[in-house]
């Protein structure tokens, strides 16, 4: 059995877990451990045998190993590697192959002898696969066994490509990929339909034989599966739970991936905590939802039975705590997201003055505004504020080619109808050229500049229609078309200076009292996060010079995917059934994103359904906590500048 955790705070954890502030420091630590193994073996004149993984997770480990090679003389001459897996079928020179990945991310930059590199072969004929798998196992044994095995974790809980249902003693074999795994890979392949259905993977049993196993996970997207893998029961449903049976395993996490472990998420259950106001609010909301009681009905016994006895002794009785938290939640609710004029605003989320505010909603893609905060957007316009919207990127990546064909046909027909024959002929030429390109287009092939422009125009028209439905005058609708968005299609490391300058200019023009922005921080390279960073930097710089910034509040909405947890919400804007309907109509204006957007992510629901589910869930939770029962609620958190 794995080492038992004797410390109180980690008593829910069934494997050793180390948490680092971020993935850079964690990756450096892992790289150093690998370097130590390589050096120790070198001194003894032996080979180091490394089990390697692909995917986003180990990239920084490989970067650090390359740095150690280039700057500190770490040699890979005595290294033999075995990769965990490869898609099947897969040509080694394909962009998505794990051979290409490993060469690009590690092998091409170090002095490893390529004859010592082993990656499962995706080109085998079906009747050769079993023999290959057996030989792969034998080759690992003949090399002396794996000194260390690196693992990532899939959201299905897979390690390697050992999907749910895998046996603990499984060896290297061919497997069928889970649907969620294929969806997660769909971006790299330009659509799920292009992701192979099978893979060759080392088995759980193969991984177990390694002398040291390190499972790494970064970002919030992994938090849920990490909680199950670390604290859940061992089950073939989550193959990573098998690692609880190993004596040689360590989970290395960043804070975001560890955030749902009990010691971080519900620390009062794990240890004696210091009760801060934020923690009290979180715990009370959790308790009420957990035992399904409105806050005002929680008793001392309820608190005592759920790790909160000390809280009741220190600040109780329950009645006092209940009233305090109930009032705090009550004060987040407002039908006046721009502030209610001429009333006492001391207990309201927004200022009463100025009664008429300059407001700007920043929307990373052209539909995030209406999807995420459409109801609030409508209220702000209805309540007479001077509301602007800024579409930060053109969103052209998410438009289908057949929409381009449709619009070109329309443009050509229109030109013909009005007798603009030269223009019609020009459009016809573009039409023929682009159709020929589309006919042989490979997944993920970057569009011509013209097609990118047409796709951007399609989304522009939809965004204008949406914003007009909300009630904005045309002059308040701004298309930033930030340059980083297209630039990133060609290069990884791009500068954002012109994006920041452009954003500063717009802010100076509007001089907003309220800025609304998408606060999605989970995906550090995602468009939402980049857009937020640009906006934040623009505001930060302006705060040093421009007087109006002193009276400017920044409100965050959570983007298209998730909602803020109840205890974090600082402004809850209730929507009536009619407002929900108007919001739906605004979302419908984004026709190119309806039915089946190019990148639907891992949620098959249409955007308007997702938006309505999310806001009615928040409303239902307020109701369960004993507050008023609304049709829907949109939630916001205020960003405070320090
Ligand atoms: C990769 C592998 C997979 C990944 C896992 C996580 O060789 O076997 O188990 O480690 O799918 O992928 P990322 O790191 O891309 O989130």
Q: 630 in helix, strand or coil?
A: coil
Closest-lying ligand 1 atom to the alpha carbon of residue 52: 7
Question: 125 — alpha (psi -120 to 50), left (phi > 0) or beta?
Answer: beta
Closest atom of ligand 1 to CA, residue 58: 14
The answer, yes or no, to whether any atom of ligand 1 lies below 6 A from the CB of 54, is: yes
Is the confidence at residue 178, as pLDDT, over 80?
Answer: yes
Q: How confident is the model at residue 460 (pLDDT cuts 50, 70, 90)?
A: very high
Say which of 13, 64, 85, 434 is annotated catalytic: 85
- H-helix segments, 297-420: 300-304, 309-315, 318-330, 368-382, 401-417
Overall residue count recorded for the chain in this entry:
642
Cα separation of 424 and 11, whole Å? Answer: 72
Q: Name the 3-class secondary structure at 552.
A: coil
Task: Fill in the DSSP letter of residue 333.
Answer: B
Residue whose CB lies within 8 A of the most ligand 1 atoms, among 82, 154, 251, 523, for a mutation test: 154
The answer to whether 543 and 641 are in contact (CB under 8 A) is yes
Per-residue model confidence as pLDDT tens digits over 491-522: 877 889 999 999 999 999 999 999 999 998 77
Kindly give the pairing relationship between strand 213-217 and strand 571-575: unpaired
Domain boundaries, the chain: 17-264, 266-330, 358-395+448-639
CA of 155 relative to ligand 1 center, distance in Å: 9
Active site annotation includes 109:
no
CA of 19 to the centre of ligand 1 (A): 19
* Cα 173 → chain centroid: 31
Tokens (6 digits) for 28? 């450096």
C-beta of 53 in contact with ligand 1 (< 6 A):
yes
Contact 525, 493 (CB under 8 A): no
Q: Which atom of ligand 1 is nearest to the CA of 181?
A: 11
Tell me the best of 51, 52, 54 to mutate to test the pocket of ligand 1, counting ligand atoms within 8 Å of each CB and taking the most: 54
**In CATH, which of 3.30.70.1560, 3.40.50.920, 3.40.50.10320, 2.40.10.120 is domain 358-395+448-639?**
3.40.50.10320
Question: ∠487-489-491 over CA atoms, to 5°?
Answer: 70
What is the CA angle 497-499-503, rounded to 5?
115
Query: How far apart (Å, rounded) are the C-alpha atoms in residues 180 and 416?
Result: 48
pLDDT band (50, 70, 90) for residue 524: low
Residue 15 has pLDDT above 90, yes or no: yes
Residue nearest ligand 1's atom 9 by CA: 160
Quickly name the fold that domain 17-264 has: Rossmann fold (3.40.50)
Q: Is the CB of 86 under 6 A from ligand 1?
A: no
CA of 217 to the centre of ligand 1 (A): 9
- How far apart are the CA of 74 and the centre of ligand 1, in A? 26
Instruction: Output the six-digit token pair for 24.
Output: 């850079």
Query: Is 134 annotated in the active site?
Result: no
C-alpha span between 153 and 134 (Å, rounded): 24
**Could you say which of 69, 158, 385, 388 is catalytic?**
158
163 is catalytic: yes
* Structure-block tokens of residue 421: 């024959």
Q: Name the residue among 346, 421, 417, 337 with its Cα closest to residue 380.
A: 337
52 in Cβ contact with 127 (< 8 Å): no
**pLDDT score, position 39:** 98
Same fold, 17-264 and 358-395+448-639: yes
Atom of ligand 1 nearest to the CA of 159: 9
CA of 358 to the centre of ligand 1 (A): 46
| 1: confidence class by pLDDT, cuts 50, 70, 90 | very low
- The CA-based diameter of the chain, rounded to the nearest angstrom, is 84
- pLDDT at position 598, please? 63
Nearest CA to ligand 1 atom 3: 160
Neighbours of 577 (CB within 10 A): 9
Between the CA atoms of 269, 262, 610 and 566, what dihedral angle is there, to the nearest 10 degrees?
A: 40
The total of other beta-carbon atoms located within 10 Å of residue 544's CB is 7
Q: How far is the CA of 54 from the centre of ligand 1 (A)?
A: 6
Instruction: Please work out, in degrees rounded to the nearest 5, the angle formed at the alpha carbon of residue 499 by the alpha carbons of 495 and 501.
Output: 110
Q: Is 395 in the pocket of ligand 1 (CB under 6 A)?
A: no
**Cα within 13 Å of Cα(509), Cβ side:** 15
273-283 tens-digit pLDDT: 999 999 999 99
Hey, what are 500's tokens?
């920041």
What SS3 state is found at 296? helix
Ligand 1 in contact with 57 (CB < 6 A)?
yes
Distance CA 40, CA 511 (A): 62
| Residue whose CB lies within 8 A of the most ligand 1 atoms, among 152, 173, 523, for a mutation test | 152
How many Å apart are CA 161 and CA 140, to the nearest integer? 18
Q: Please tell me the number of Cα atoms within 13 Å of 218 on its side-chain side.
A: 18
What pLDDT, on the 0 to 100 scale, is given for residue 512? 98
Residue-wise pLDDT tens digits, 103-113: 999 999 999 99
Q: What is the pLDDT of residues 599-638, one digit of tens each?
A: 656 677 888 999 999 999 999 999 999 999 999 999 999 9
Measure 162 CA to ligand 1 centroid, in angstroms.
11
Per the CB < 8 A criterion, the answer to whether 636 and 555 are in contact is yes
Q: Across the beta sheet with 173-176, what order do the strands follow? A: 85-88, 198-201, 173-176
Span 158-169, mean pLDDT? Answer: 96
pLDDT tens-digit map of 305-339: 999 999 999 998 999 999 999 999 999 999 999 99
Å from CA of 84 to ligand 1 middle? 9
Instruction: Kindly name the residue from 13, 147, 163, 579 that is annotated as catalytic.
Output: 163
Mean pLDDT of all residues belonging to the chain: 95
- If DSSP codes are grouped into helix, strand and coil, which group holds residue 175? strand
């Amino acid at each position: 059995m794995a080492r038992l955790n004797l410390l109180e705070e980690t008593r829910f954890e069934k494997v050793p877990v180390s948490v680092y502030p971020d993935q850079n420091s964690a990756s450096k630590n892992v790289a150093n451990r690998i370097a130590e193994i390589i050096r120790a073996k070198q001194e003894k004149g032996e080979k180091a045998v490394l089990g390697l993984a692909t995917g986003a997770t180990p990239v920084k480990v490989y970067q650090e190993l390359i740095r150690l090679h280039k700057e500190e003389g770490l040699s890979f001459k005595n290294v033999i590697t075995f990769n965990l897996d490869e898609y099947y079928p897969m040509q080694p020179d394909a962009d998505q192959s794990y051979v290409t990945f490993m060469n690009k991310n590690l092998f091409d930059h170090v002095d490893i002898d390529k004859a010592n590199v082993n990656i499962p072969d995706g080109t085998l004929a079906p009747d050769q696969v079993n023999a290959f798998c057996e030989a792969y196992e034998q080759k690992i044994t003949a090399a002396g066994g794996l000194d260390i095995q690196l693992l990532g974790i899939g959201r299905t809980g897979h390690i390697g490509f050992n999907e749910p249902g895998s046996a603990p003693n499984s060896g290297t074999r061919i497997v069928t990929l889970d649907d969620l795994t294929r969806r997660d890979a769909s971006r790299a392949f330009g659509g799920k339909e292009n992701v192979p259905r099978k893979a060759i993977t080392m088995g759980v049993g193969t991984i177990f034989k390694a002398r040291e196993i390190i499972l790494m996970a970064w970002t919030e997207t992994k938090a849920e599966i990490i909680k199950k893998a670390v604290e859940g029961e061992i089950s073939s449903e989550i193959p990573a739970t098998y690692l609880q049976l190993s004596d040689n395993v360590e989970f290395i996490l960043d804070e975001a991936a560890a955030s749902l472990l009990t010691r971080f998420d519900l620390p009062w259950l794990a240890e004696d905590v210091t009760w801060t106001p934020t923690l009290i609010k979180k715990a009370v909301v959790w308790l009420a939802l957990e035992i399904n009681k409105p806050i005002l009905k929680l008793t001392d016994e309820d608190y005592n039975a759920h790790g909160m006895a000390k809280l009741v002794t220190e600040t109780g009785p329950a009645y006092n705590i209940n009233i305090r938290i109930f009032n705090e939640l009550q004060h987040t609710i407002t039908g006046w997201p721009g502030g209610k004029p001429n009333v006492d605003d001391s207990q309201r989320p927004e200022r009463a003055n100025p009664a008429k505010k300059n407001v700007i909603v920043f929307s990373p893609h052209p539909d995030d505004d209406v999807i995420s905060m459409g109801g609030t957007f409508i209220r702000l316009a209805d309540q007479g504020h001077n509301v602007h919207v800024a579409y930060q990127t053109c969103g052209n990546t998410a438009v289908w080619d057949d929409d381009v064909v449709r619009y070109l046909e329309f443009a050509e027909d229109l030109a013909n109808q009005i007798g603009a024959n030269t223009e019609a002929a020009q459009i016809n030429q573009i039409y023929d050229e682009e159709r020929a390109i589309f006919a042989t287009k490979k997944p993920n092939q970057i569009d011509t500049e013209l097609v990118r422009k047409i796709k951007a125009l399609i989304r522009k028209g939809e965004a204008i229609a949406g914003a007009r439905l909300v009630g904005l005058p045309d002059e308040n609708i701004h298309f930033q078309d930030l340059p980083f968005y297209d630039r990133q299609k060609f290069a990884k490391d791009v500068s954002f200076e012109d994006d920041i300058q452009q954003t500063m200019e717009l802010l100076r023009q509007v001089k907003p009292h309220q800025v609304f922005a998408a606060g999605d921080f989970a995906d550090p390279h995602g468009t939402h996060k980049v857009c937020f960073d640009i906006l934040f930097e623009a505001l930060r710089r302006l705060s040093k010079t421009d007087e109006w910034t002193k009276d400017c509040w920044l409100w965050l909405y959570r983007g298209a995917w998730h909602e803020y947890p109840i205890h974090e919400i600082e402004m809850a804007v209730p929507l009536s059934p009619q407002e929900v309907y108007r919001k739906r109509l605004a979302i419908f204006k984004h026709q190119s994103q309806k039915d089946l957007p190019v990148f639907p992510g891992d949620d098959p629901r249409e955007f308007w359904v997702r938006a309505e589910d999310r806001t009615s869930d928040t409303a239902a939770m307020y109701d369960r906590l004993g507050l008023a029962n609304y049709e829907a609620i949109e939630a916001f958190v205020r960003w405070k500048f320090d």
